[in-house]
Amino acid sequence: MELNYIFFILSLVFVGLTVFSMMGGFSVMMKGGEENAKRSNKFMQLRVAFQALALACFAVAMFTS
Q: In this model, does residue 64 exceed pLDDT 90?
A: no
- Asked if pLDDT for residue 65 goes beyond 80, the answer is no
Phi, psi of 33 (to 5 degrees): 95, 160
For 31-61, the pLDDT digits (tens) are: 878 888 888 889 999 999 999 999 999 999 8
**Which residues, other chains included, contact 17 with Cβ-Cβ below 8 Å and sequence gap of 6+?**
46, 50, 54
Average pLDDT over the chain, rounded to an integer:
90
Q: With left for phi above 0 and alpha for psi between -120 and 50, is residue 2 left, alpha or beta?
A: beta
